[in-house]
Amino acid sequence: MTNQNYLVKTTNKQYIVKFFGKGTEKLINRQDEKYNLELLKDLDLDVKNYLFDIEAGIKVNEYIESAITLDSRSIKTKFDKIAPILQTIHSSGKELRGEFAPFEEIKKYESLIEEKIPYANYEAVREEVFSLEKRLADLGVDRKSCHIDLVPENFIESPQGRLYLIDWEYSSMNDPMWDLAALFLESEFTRQEEEDFLSHYESDQTPVSREKITIYKILQDIIWSLWTVYKEEQGADFGDYGVSRYQRAVKGLAYYGGSDEN
């Protein structure tokens, strides 16, 4: 939702050409993205990148012929492939550029939004959201290399069955539980599906905190609801996407306040 992608054919090869979207320079540090792609190259998780021209606002990637883009249904049949990808990045020891700090992200989007934030009881909800910062500090925030944006469409599978994780523009240092929260939230996992995935992912090298996952789900819904307001001020139209995410965050806060997550 932040870029325009085109399939370009030459005499003997095809490429995906991505043009960076309007206003994304305020949201994404392209210098960091370029550095991180180069640093992560040896992990071989992404398609090949042939060109990354920040000044021109263009990126050229390998095109995987007949690849299938996962969706919220098919992703739930690929746990055995997705879990090793996330284990690899989270335990890689790579020092990515960029620090993804959720509460600072909220402040960033608030500063970018020019009009009044249009969500019901936003100030009260915001206060409750920021009260989670201390709880996260008490739990301990891990600092590992993360993808950040695990929507199902960022996984593509080749006809040979190889799964790629693409679009690393938000990649940075963060708590791996953020990535798990994104995976579960963006594909609407049930609680049982979450546990099934965690049985593939959890290990001595990649431990799991279910409470942090719950908190990060709330923060993600708030952040992306604010992202939507900003993008719509730039002329985009996402329908009820923003308000739906905001309402889910409010429900998440109510659930978290009455639960005993650990």
Interval 39-57: pLDDT, tens:
999 999 999 999 999 999 9
The dihedral of CA 87, 92, 98, 101: what is its sign? positive
| Domain assignments of the chain as residue spans, ordered by start | 67-257
Record the pTM. 0.93
Instruction: Please name which of 38, 175, 44, 197 lies closest in space to residue 100, comparing C-alpha atoms.
Output: 175
Could you tell me the pLDDT band of residue 262, with boundaries at 50, 70 and 90? very low
According to the model, what pLDDT value does residue 190 have? Answer: 98
Q: What is the DSSP letter of 154?
A: G
Could you tell me the pLDDT band of residue 185, with boundaries at 50, 70 and 90? very high
How many Cβ atoms are within 10 Å of 206's Cβ, its own excluded? Answer: 18
**Average of pLDDT values for 183-196?**
98
> CATH second-level architecture of 67-257?
Alpha-Beta Complex (3.90)
Interval 13-38: pLDDT, tens:
999 999 987 767 788 899 999 999 99
* C-alpha span between 121 and 126 (Å, rounded): 9
**Average of pLDDT values for 174-195?**
98
